[in-house]
Amino acid sequence: MVRLSGRSWARSTSRPGGLRARARSPQDAPRRGPAWVRSVLTGRSVAGQVFLLQVAIVLLLVVAAAVALVLQVRHDSTTEARNRSLAVAETFASAPGTREALTAPDPTAVLQPRAEAARVRSEVDFVVVMNTDGVRYTHPKPDRIGKKFVGTLAPALAGKSFTEEITGTIGPLVQAVVPVKADDGTVVGLVSAGITTENVGGVGDRQLPLLLTAAAFALVVALAGTALVSGRLLRQTHGLGPFEMTRMYEHHDAVLHAVREGVLIVGGEGRLLLANDEAHRLLDLPDNAEGRHVLELGLDTDTAGLLASGRVATDEVHLVGDRLLAINQRPTDLEGGPAGSVATLRDSTELRALSGRAEVAREHLKLLYDAGVGIGTTLDVTRTVQELAEVAVPRFADFATVDLAEAVLSGEEPDAGTSLRRTAFSGIRRDAPLYPVGERIGFIASTPQARSLGTGEAVMAPDLRKAHGWLAQDPERTARIVDYGIHSLITVPLRAGHLVMGVANFWRSAQAEPFDEEELALAEELVARAAVSIDNARRYTREHTMAVTLQRSLLPRSLPEQSALDIAYRYLPAQAGVGGDWFDVLPLSGARVALVVGDVVGHGLHAAATMGRLRTAVHNFSALDLPPDELLGLLDELVGRIDQDEAADESSAAVTGATCLYAVYDPISRQCTVARAGHPPPAVIRPDGGVEFPEVPAGPPLGLGGLPFETAELTLEEGSRLVLYTDGLVEDRERDIDAGLELLRTALTGADRSPEETCRIVLEDLLPSKPGDDIALIVAGTRALDPDRVAEWQVPSDPASVGEVRASVTRQLTEWGLEDMEFTTELILSELVTNAIRYGNGPIRVRVLFDLSLICEVFDGSSTSPHLRYAATTDEGGRGLFLVAQLTERWGTRYTPAGKVIWAEQPLP
């Protein structure tokens, strides 16, 4: 088969759509030198004829241009003379003194020198001043003064300036006449200025040689260009004459129509210039197609658009009728050829089936790629299976449903069975009679779903009207599904290793073709990829549920009973996962209450477990009644030891990064002692509604070690509110902690708010839309213990003073209405005071507090701590503290800067 390239057709010279002649043999090629010149000058070849014609045209154009330039120069010179003479005359006529000189006794004496000076400066041939009768007062030639002016005066006497060409006393000239007017507008004289024709034409005569030289140069350049063009044309036509070129065209035309490949030549304006016989056959073109626009030939839109565009195309396949044509197209103006394009058509109908399969395969690969990108964007089981259903519709199926075992939704491993819950649905319509989302479905053994769950293999039902096992599931519903138009089903198990989590169902209705084996394989691949994401989401759900359960078990479920603080709190876990924020309220001895908030950096089980360990440690340390700074020091040592233990296990993470704030409030003195380890400072709301962030020394986070912690003593008015929080409330990705603290200050500002209302307002103003960290918030309204419920006595270091203490306590209990507790209280204080006198140092002080319980405290200056022990039967002492422990609800020792306090609490009757 002969293939003709687009470049070959583009270089046609015989007629539109003609073909380039085949290169002649070396013997036929034109010879260089004189032979080439003779070929051009004789006009035998097309190039010679074109050369002679171009030479004639160039000569004609050059001569015409020279004549036109000469005429134009002369016209421009005359125009310039008129303008100059008129300007000089008007300037002299309006010059100061001209009008007065006309009325002088001797106008010539005044005006002649001025006129000559103006003539010389303006380079005109004369400046003549005359009276209204035309008698000259001035003239370049003095003998002409006093004689009559030669020219037309009537327009000037009428008050108008004008110019004219005349023959005057000094020869042919161009002159202007301008009136000189008095103040009342009457003409009192005339001024004329002019240039002779000799001077007017002199400019043109001087320019004429230059013009002729330019014309000669243009002629030479044009002839050189014509020779170059003719030489190139001679090479392109290979010296052929018109007859030879016609014969060559006929030969090429015969070849063109003999090839079995369609050839089209389209002009730059989109009109068909040439189409061979094969192109007519393949495109079914009309007989009069040549000369018409390709968009008017009845071709399909895509093919016509390609031919009209002239763009480059390589083996671009188009369906034309029942033929599949491969079209190649190239523009013809790539190397200076005429605008347009050449297209070749090849019938590739036999490749249609193969191309269709390739397109289907490409769509399948695209579907799998999109599934890999679009499924598993979250770690939510329900969302992941919904993404599976959505990616399959409508590209693979008309409807898609996913059914999962109940255990999978809660993160557990499913048990073997056929009872599932419909979790996801997607379809081209919403009214399909399939089981709705959320319904629990028990598949009978004959259904494709049950078989798929049992065998772990995909099952296809190409015709649901004949799928008796599926029809038996729910005859009424399945009949409605078939009547709806759903006719084909593929069921694929969601497998992750040995686990079968559920099934994915793909239904077809709008597409008439049932599912086939190739699509079954695609469904298996699609579901296999999605199952990995679903199992990941299931595992995350299980871990998240475990972490949430652990966290909830470790956080306080209710606040202990105490009277020192009115407490409200909020705890909000992060959406990203369980964190390590925690808080606690711990009643202490002496009606005091400890508040603690902490934060463990990170999320997940490790953070929650670490939080539980720290909270338990704080509980234990608080039982020792330690000051806040000492408690944080012990907690810091504990975290350091935990880090050392975790460092030995590479799979565990260190705890470094935990923070804590510990505050102890005494309702009797209204003193609040605060220490913090890398935690944000507390906020205090005064009773008047003002907010301040007290200066509390910022210690390092727990676990760093090496630096002591410091405390701050705050005196809180009764009715103040103490606010403790974690950094998740005031800091996130969109704002830094300084901006968050300022927002917190604004939210807290306000009087007459309860702690509960304060918590609500703070969260409304500061809670992020999607919290990235846990948030713990405690608002504690301070109370003061009524002084009438506090009794205190100084005790001398004398055993005889014990009786006085018993008597004083009895009177105080009677005053409080606690007569039933007198005996027990006397016994407790007798033992405690006796121990203080015997083993302690002075001064000794007794304090009794009437709170939620009756609290007895004995202060002394010794730092020794009593210990509970069992006395032998022969011992005379050692039973005092044992009796105290039996008679009280709690008892213990706490140390003060001046010594220690032994205290005991009794429940009220």
What is the per-residue pLDDT for 17?
38
* Mean predicted confidence (pLDDT) in 281-306: 87
Segment among 150-159, 200-209, 476-485, 783-792 with least mean pLDDT? 200-209
- The pLDDT-based confidence of 876 (bands split at 50, 70, 90) is very low
- Token pair listed for 355: 């191309």
- Per-residue H/E/C for 557-578: CCCCCCCCEEEEEEEECCCCCC
What is the per-residue pLDDT for 124?
87
What is the per-residue pLDDT for 352?
59
What is the per-residue pLDDT for 201?
54
* Mean predicted confidence (pLDDT) in 742-750: 92
What is the per-residue pLDDT for 5?
38
How wide is the angle at C-alpha 167 spanned by C-alphas 162 and 173, nearest 5°?
60
Selected residue with higher pLDDT from 494 and 356? 494
What is the per-residue pLDDT for 789?
92
Tell me the range of 356-365, 617-626, 639-648 where mean pLDDT is highest: 617-626
pLDDT over 70 at 129, yes or no: yes
- Strand order across the 272-275 sheet: 272-275, 262-267, 340-347, 323-331, 313-320
Instruction: Express as a percent the part of the chain with pLDDT over 70.
Output: 86
- The pLDDT-based confidence of 239 (bands split at 50, 70, 90) is low
Q: Is 244 helix (H, G, I), strand (E, B) or coil?
A: helix
What is the per-residue pLDDT for 196?
79
- Strand order across the 565-572 sheet: 565-572, 775-782, 721-725, 683-685, 691-692
Block residue for tokens 């460092």: 647
* Mean predicted confidence (pLDDT) in 215-235: 73
What is the tens place of the pLDDT at every residue in 169-223?
Answer: 677 788 899 998 888 888 889 999 888 766 665 555 666 677 677 777 777 777 7
What is the tens place of the pLDDT at every residue in 23-44?
Answer: 344 344 444 445 555 555 555 6
Report the distance separating Cα 352 and Cα 365, nearest Å: 20
pLDDT over 90 at 320, yes or no: no
Query: Are the C-beta atoms of 24 and 351 separated by less than 8 Å?
Result: no
Report the distance separating Cα 411 and Cα 414, nearest Å: 9
- Token pair listed for 820: 């039933």
Residues in a beta bridge with 792: 847
What is the per-residue pLDDT for 360?
75
* Alpha-carbon Rg for the chain in angstroms: 57
pLDDT over 60 at 12, yes or no: no
What is the per-residue pLDDT for 397?
92
What is the per-residue pLDDT for 3?
37
pLDDT over 90 at 390, yes or no: yes
- The pLDDT-based confidence of 47 (bands split at 50, 70, 90) is low
Report the distance separating Cα 442 and Cα 91, nearest Å: 117
What is the tens place of the pLDDT at every residue in 537-578?
Answer: 998 888 877 777 777 777 787 888 999 999 999 988 776 666
* Mean predicted confidence (pLDDT) in 348-369: 73
Residues present in the chain in total:
909
What is the tens place of the pLDDT at every residue in 859-874?
Answer: 988 887 776 555 444 4
Report the distance separating Cα 231 and Cα 54, nearest Å: 13
- Closest C-alpha among 165, 73, 85 to residue 125: 85
The per-residue DSSP string of 632-651 comes to HHHHHHHHHHHHHHHHTSTT
Segment among 152-161, 522-531, 626-635, 859-868 with least mean pLDDT? 859-868
Query: Are the C-beta atoms of 178 and 89 separated by less than 8 Å?
Result: yes
Residues in a beta bridge with 403: 422, 503
Phi then psi for residue 106, to 5 deg, are -130, 85
* Mean predicted confidence (pLDDT) in 130-154: 87
Report the distance separating Cα 325 and Cα 906, nearest Å: 103
pLDDT over 70 at 773, yes or no: yes
- Token pair listed for 121: 């400066």
- Closest C-alpha among 18, 21, 40, 42 to residue 31: 40
What is the per-residue pLDDT for 359?
73
Selected residue with higher pLDDT from 600 and 4? 600
What is the tens place of the pLDDT at every residue in 69-93?
Answer: 777 777 777 788 888 888 888 888 8
For the entire predicted model, the pTM comes to: 0.53
What is the tens place of the pLDDT at every residue in 322-341?
Answer: 788 889 999 888 766 778 89
What is the identity of the amino acid at 512? A
- Token pair listed for 188: 């009192």
* Mean predicted confidence (pLDDT) in 411-437: 89
Do β-strands 459-461 and 440-442 pair in parallel, antiparallel, or remain unpaired? unpaired
Report the distance separating Cα 393 and Cα 434, nearest Å: 15
What is the per-residue pLDDT for 385?
93
- On average, the pLDDT of the chain sits at 83
pLDDT over 70 at 510, yes or no: yes
* Mean predicted confidence (pLDDT) in 642-665: 72
Query: Are the C-beta atoms of 595 and 660 separated by less than 8 Å?
Result: no
3-state helix, strand, coil in the chain (%, to 5): 40, 25, 35
CA atoms within 13 A on the CB side of 47: 21
The H-or-E segment that residue 343 falls in is strand 340-347
Residue 783: burial class (beta carbons within 10 Å; 0-12, 13-18, 19+):
buried
pLDDT over 70 at 652, yes or no: no
Neighbours of 105 (CB within 10 A): 6
Cα separations in angstroms, 316 against 319, 328, 344, 348, 867: 10, 7, 11, 11, 99
Selected residue with higher pLDDT from 208 and 581? 581
What is the tens place of the pLDDT at every residue in 447-462?
Answer: 999 999 989 999 999 9
What is the per-residue pLDDT for 154?
87
Selected residue with higher pLDDT from 30 and 490? 490
What is the tens place of the pLDDT at every residue in 750-766?
Answer: 888 999 999 999 999 88
Query: Are the C-beta atoms of 446 and 468 separated by less than 8 Å?
Result: yes
Enumerate the H helices of 342-447 as residue ranges: 352-374, 381-392, 406-409
pLDDT over 50 at 343, yes or no: yes
pLDDT over 50 at 4, yes or no: no
Query: Are the C-beta atoms of 581 and 777 separated by less than 8 Å?
Result: no
What is the per-residue pLDDT for 611?
84
Tell me the range of 64-78, 344-358, 739-753 where mean pLDDT is highest: 739-753
What is the per-residue pLDDT for 634?
92
Neighbours of 629 (CB within 10 A): 20
